[in-house]
Structure 1
Amino acid sequence: MPSSLTRNVYLRLLASHGLLRPCAALPSRCLAVPSRPRPCPCPCPHSHPHQYPLLVRRQPRRTFFGIFQKPPRMLKEPEIEPGYDVLLLFNSLETDNARPPAREELLKGWRQFVQHKRRNHRRALNSTQAYLTLQLLSHLVETAPETEGHGDDLSFSDLRAALWVTATRPPKGTSEYHLELAKLLYGEIERRIQNMRDLGIDEEMIKEAVGGKDAGDFELFLTALTQYGGSLEAAERLAEFRAQLDGEQKMAARVKVFWTLVLRGLAKEGREEDLLREYKKAEEAHLEYLPQVHEIMTTFFASRDRVEETKHWFEKPIHANRMRSPKAYMAAVRFAIRNGEQQWLQPIFEQLINSNPPKEWWDVVFQWAVLVLDKGVEDIKQMIQVMSTPKEGREGGKQGKEGPKPDAATIDALIQAAIEKQNPYLAERFLSLGAELQIQPRASTYILQMDYRLDAKDFSGVQAIYDKLLKGEVTVSQDEDLPVLNKYLRALCAVAEPDLGRILDITADLEHRHATLEPETVVALCMVFLRSDNQYDVIDTLSLHTVSYSLEERAQVRRAFVEYCLDRRVSTARVWDCYSLLRQFFPETEPAERVRLMDAFFARRRPDMACLVFGHMRSQDSPAQRPTPDMYVRCLEGLGAHPDPESLRMVYNMLKMDTSVQLDTRLYNGLMLAHAACDEPDTAVDFWRDITNSAEGPSYRSLEIVFWACERLPYGDRTARGIWQKMQRLDLDVPPEVFAAYCGALAGSGHLEEVIRLIRGMEASVGYGPGMMTLGVTYNALPGRERKEQFEAWAKAEYPDIWSQLEKKGRQETLRGTKFNIVRELKA
């Protein structure tokens, strides 16, 4: 697991109690800084106080009129799931190789978290939580007391509860740790049972001791395997399980359920060859072609638009003439629409209608009529009458039993079909049909109505439905409205001028329900709040929701903050506010992202901010998050382009104190470049001497930089000539950039005639003639107007074409005189 799962990631969030405090260096903006040393919130052996950056509010001055002001706004505390803090604490101590808490405390926290997950249907076990649960369980298993059934140890019910949570609550993101957790849980259950058998305990006593164990554990285990990409292993385990059974037991009802799980898992993973092979084994073992198996095989090929295979598996007779499932029919409907197979589907649905099916199948018939036959409301009303008419009455005989009646599920099915046709007007007409038939809408009906109205950008209509849900006109179970409310919030945030009042009202309601928003919604909200300078609402949103996110979900929000900071259309002040929040809530921000932020501040000509970003990276606890030599070079190059002496001193001190970084030529080049840019050319030349004394020696870039330093150094021509003479003695090839830099070094000391002679002799000395940069660098380096005019007159006469190219660049007045607008990109 990445080292970012340390106390710097989560315990800092748990400990955040303050607001924003203005930065002393940036008095008009806010910066996340530590207010004071805070004691470590965990019982670790560190004797020093840990520095946790808090967002702290500046205390207002007390004045007479201040007594009428509103009290400071308090931050909302994040809701930490019971027991989760113990999992986080154990992980942070494990990362630091520190002594873990007492076993009783770990057991209690693990149980609390698992039981909370079992009771709470809203929050699945995400990948990070699965990893932490797995990590602590592994520790508990490895350090378990020798006596089985120890009073304070994990019981069979604890293990089964965790296995149930793991198998039945799939997360949205990655699930590699879910698979490992399920294997460990089931393996521990089996290990304990086998230990009791090895001790000679009777099977009945074992069954009583473990709480009436049956195949339920194995079914949960197969569910987990097939849910999280382990279907091949599930097939192997099923074969082993069947091998232990006798005769008729090999195809008992529960074995059919297991085989269906395996087939569904293989289909979900897209393993066509394995799916067909496993089905053949099941068929040879006399597994009937049941509706569930029919649905799996049909849906697999229909979703891939495999026409012949879909028709084969759909038309294959089902055991005992049982009906095909509604899901199989709907898969066939969508398959037919995509592949132009409506004619193939027509007799199939005619046969279904003539079979007088139950109401659930009639709902599918209505959807087929809307999607394939393009039927409208009046046509559906006639079909409903046909459905409700007794069968004997339809055939002209005596009155028989009444047919099924439409209900809210029927209206939902029709609305869903209209949504698939992207026809909100038709959906509204189906809703009116429900009212005409005196069918009371249920929560799902309102949710569908909100969905299609959102697609139509009918925000007033969506709000009207939302108000009905708030008033409790229908019962919403298990937060089934959360997906559409997330979509509603994102839509409100996406308009040109978001209605902040409405957005805050909805988020307040969801906060009261302790609902966790989706990462995409948190991103949308935070971007709106940032653009409107509502930093406190950003803090509340992040505090309430991201603390329970997995690392993948946190990364999704984090990347949005980084992209906001990189947007050149956003003001520097807002970008710094955003970065302060990013640093506070996402200490796991990757070094590559921090470097991008540093580069962005350099591009904004704020080297002080850029170097603060670099300093924050340097102060990270994890070595993996600290700057590498290449990142030091990147920072020094930024200071070379945008000099700031104070920031340079800070970065240089960091480099000197960083024992993990060894100075090499590139770093020396960067130091030369930055010091020369900060008007310290003498120091830059000192670094040149360090390069020449090193085993690696100088590079061509070293030469270009040192000549540039000599250009800015009083009497720098002396040092430059010495270096040039040594180059000639070594008979080195001279790149154009190095030659131009040497010309600049001589010109910087005012040696106009010498530079002219040097340029005239280029063909003989270096094998090529001057270019635009040769003349431009020389002109820019010459001091005084008179020398510049003399050089210009000579260059115009000698190299008119090159000089005309140079003049197209334009000139500007600087403190060092008139200069051409040419860019010298000096790199280390």
Structure 2
Amino acid sequence: MPPLPPKSLHQHVAHLWNWRRGTHPRTRRSIHRDVITIGQLSRYLNDQIGRPPENEELVEAFCGIVEAHEGSIIVDDYAYGLLKVYEHVGSLPVESMRNALSVVYRGATENQVLLARAMFSGLRGSPEKGTLVDGDVVMIVHMLSRTGNSAEALEVAEDFSAKLTSLESERVVWEKVLEGFSSEGNEEVLLRTWEKLEKSKMEMDPKLCAPLVALYCEKGELDSAKMWYQRVVESGTGPTASAYVEIIKACLSTRNYAWGSEIVDTLLGEGGKLHMGKEAWDVVLRWYLALGADPEKMDELLDMMAQRAEEVEVLPSPEMATINGLLRSGMVVVGPSFPFEDFLLIADRRGFNYDRTSFELKLEHKINQGNTEEALATYEDLKTESIPRRYHATEVKHLLRHLCAQPTLDREAIQTIYADLLDWDVRLDVGTLCPLLHILLEGCSFKEVINLLTRESPSNHEKSRIIAQMISHISSSGTSIEAAWDTYQILYQVFPETTVHQRTTLMSLFFDLGRSDMGVMVFQHMRQTRKRKPLKYTYRAALLGVAINRDLEALRVIHNALKLDCQFDPDTRLLNSLMTAYAACGMPTRTMEIWEDIRRSVQGPDHESVAIALDACSRIPKGIRQAQVLWGQLRAAGYQFTAGDYAAYVEALGRNGKWDEGWRIAKEMKGEGVEPDVRL
């Protein structure tokens, strides 16, 4: 066994002061004082506030909380609090530790497991002789095997199974260990453990084969499963009902109808030998559905189920929940073509009343069939049932998505269903919210869009999908500029999480649409945010957008912002964009001033800078001389001209009527090893 949990665990339990939360209703009043006592310990241990209660008080609080949860499972927060008490006090009454183990061993959280380990360790280490009893070992092995700690459960079983006073306890312990390795899919250790048991003096129980059958059924290795099943059969006692269930499930998934039919017949033929629970009957009904059984056959099986329930009171009788399970299985096995109404008539013949689940299943079936009219009628039936608090409304949300996807929209029905969901306090998942949002955006119902987005309060993950959808709508060719701008305004106000990249995309879109005023506004919105400031590529995109629109006023706004931005120093690529914008706005002289800044910079000009400068020179009155000087300077400096550079210079010469010189420069290209391009 591992040592006790370290005292360095850093989990606060100060919220145990809020003693009403997570407490069993009948114990709220009785454990109020106990929880406050543990809360005081928590504040002392975690925050060094105050003094810890006396050990006697802590032991009393421990025993009180455990006693109050008798017959139930203690919640995770209390499990941690009790663990801290045990660590602080150091020892507890034996019966209190045993009782604590009994209220925690069926749990599965980390703190519940830690408390169970601590209690078992305390019991086994108690100085009192005979402290550890069979039930203690059974409980800890049961918990460890269920929570992925089968190797640890095996250690306990090896240490204590031979000391157990009851043969039944020993069998249960080993059964739980084997079940744990089976559920973890650990075939090697499972087989090794089973073989070790077989060689021991312990009388083998057929139940011990069930985990092996379950393992191979889960893996789909039916030949191996069949081998272990035969060993159980040959023992003369027969498998358990759970083993039959696992085999039938595996036969369904692998479509092994031959062996599966044999198993089902054997299971049903066992009669009084096996007590078939709800899970066993559900899988048998699903089996016959897979074989294409009709409602009459299902009626026969339900008669058999009812007869066995009369013979043994603890067995389940057919009820509406049974029919609902049958309908659900039929929808899964058969699909949209499942004759839902024919099987629903089984409930009518037996006098069962439909419930909310029945209508939910019917609603789902009609949606899957694409029968919108009957789906809406079924929805009206569903609303006559009592709607519980925290209703999941899975099928209703599916209906809403279905209506939003129809070519002809029934806006009234969509609005009604959404209003019902609001009345039921149902929050829309992103998969439902997005189709509804799409409908509202398409209809330019922007007030409703704002209400929808603010009311639903989507999570961060959901926000990313919604933002992407709104950007897609803005970018759609079918969206008018006005609608695109209104949608952007909502996006800007409701979702400050919109990234710089996404905002830059929208800014460029408005520039491309010829609305530089909108593009500049998006840019300004970025500047006004704290965490979404424009980056270098944002400035480049804005300047190129300004160039497309030849908007000098917008250019001044962007350039002034760049001068004031202390995030970075402009590099050559950014200054090239600024040159392009000034040249496009008819200010070639300003362009050449920026060229001089680039030329004096550490990074220096690139080929794009040269081409822009040559073009700007040609647009200045008598500037061709400046272009010729620049060309000569670059050549003297050993600059390697590209086809783009030649094209820009020849264009500048041609624009100023110097055709002969332009022709001469063009002919020189090949001598310099540069191939002419289409532009030249």
Same fold (TM over 0.5): yes
* 2:411 is aligned with 1:500: yes
1:407 to 319, 338, 353: 319
Counterpart contact for 1:607–1:638, Cα < 8 Å: yes
Instruction: Name which of structure 1's ranges 644-653 and 457-466 shifts more when overlaid on structure 2.
Output: 644-653
Q: Residue 88 of structure 1 corresponds to which residue in structure 2? A: none
Displacement, 1:530? Answer: 0.5
How do 1:451-490 and structure 2 match up within 5 A?
451-472=364-385, 475-490=386-401
* 2:292 is aligned with 1:374: yes
**SS at structure 1 position matched to 2:432:** helix
Q: Residue 128 of structure 2 corresponds to which residue in structure 1? A: none
Q: Residue 429 of structure 2 corresponds to which residue in structure 1? A: 518
Q: Residue 260 of structure 2 corresponds to which residue in structure 1? A: 345
2:240 to 307, 313, 323: 323
Cα distance in 1 for partners of 2:646, 2:17 equals: 73
1:529 to 437, 440, 464: 440
1:262 to 143, 148, 164: 148
Cα distance in 2 for partners of 1:144, 1:255 equals: 37
Q: Residue 660 of structure 2 corresponds to which residue in structure 1? A: 753
2:628 to 721, 730, 736: 721
Cα distance in 1 for partners of 2:116, 2:443 equals: 58
Cα distance in 1 for partners of 2:497, 2:638 equals: 51
Counterpart contact for 1:388–1:402, Cα < 8 Å: no
Identity within the alignment, %? 22
Specify whether residues 507 and 265 from structure 1 end up closer, same or farther in structure 2 by C-alpha distance, changes over 3 A only.
Answer: farther
* 2:530 is aligned with 1:621: yes
Amino acid at match of 1:194: E
TM-score, normalised by the number of residues in structure 1: 0.62
Amino acid at match of 1:367: R
Specify whether residues 115 and 289 from structure 1 end up closer, same or farther in structure 2 by C-alpha distance, changes over 3 A only.
Answer: farther
C-alpha deviations, 1:208-239, integer Å up to 9, x for none? 9xxx855656765x43599xxxxxxx7x9987
Amino acid at match of 2:444: D
C-alpha deviations, 1:328-377, integer Å up to 9, x for none? 76765554344331112111111111123446222321211011x21112
Specify whether residues 604 and 466 from structure 1 end up closer, same or farther in structure 2 by C-alpha distance, changes over 3 A only.
Answer: same
Amino acid at match of 1:411: I
Specify whether residues 556 and 140 from structure 1 end up closer, same or farther in structure 2 by C-alpha distance, changes over 3 A only.
Answer: farther
Displacement, 1:523? Answer: 0.8
Cα distance in 1 for partners of 2:220, 2:410 equals: 44
Higher helix fraction (1 or 2): 2
2:88 to 189, 195, 200: 195
Q: Residue 139 of structure 2 corresponds to which residue in structure 1? A: 253
Q: Residue 599 of structure 1 corresponds to which residue in structure 2? A: 508
How do 1:300-339 and structure 2 match up within 5 A?
305-308=220-223, 323-325=240-242, 332-333=247-248, 335-339=250-254
- Higher-Rg structure is 2
Amino acid at match of 1:364: V
Displacement, 1:262? Answer: 2.0
Amino acid at match of 2:506: L
Displacement, 1:746? Answer: 2.4
How do 1:784-823 and structure 2 match up within 5 A?
none
* 2:482 is aligned with 1:573: yes
Cα distance in 1 for partners of 2:507, 2:343 equals: 56
**SS at structure 2 position matched to 1:527:** helix
How do 1:31-430 and structure 2 match up within 5 A?
115=21, 143=47, 145-148=49-52, 190-191=83-84, 193-197=86-90, 203=92, 214=101, 216=103, 220=107, 222-223=108-109, 245-246=123-124, 248=134, 251-262=137-148, 275-276=186-187, 305-308=220-223, 323-325=240-242, 332-333=247-248, 335-356=250-271, 357-358=275-276, 360=278, 361-371=280-290, 373-389=291-307, 405-420=317-332, 421-430=334-343
C-alpha deviations, 1:254-308, integer Å up to 9, x for none? 53034213279999xx99987447757987799x99999968x877765664545
Cα distance in 1 for partners of 2:404, 2:437 equals: 9
Counterpart contact for 2:86–2:92, Cα < 8 Å: no
Aligned residues: 592
Amino acid at match of 1:385: D
Cα distance in 2 for partners of 1:352, 1:298 equals: 15
The answer to which structure, 1 or 2, has the higher relative contact order (CA under 8 A, 6+ apart) is: 1
Q: Residue 432 of structure 1 corresponds to which residue in structure 2? A: 345
Displacement, 1:520? Answer: 0.9
Structure 1: any 5+ residue segments left out of the alignment? 1-105, 120-137, 161-166, 170-181, 227-233, 393-398, 775-828
C-alpha deviations, 1:580-634, integer Å up to 9, x for none? 2222222112223223333333443333333333332332212xx3333233223
* 2:659 is aligned with 1:773: no
Cα distance in 1 for partners of 2:669, 2:572 equals: 28
Q: Root-mean-square deviation (CA), in Å?
A: 4.6
Counterpart contact for 1:260–1:293, Cα < 8 Å: no
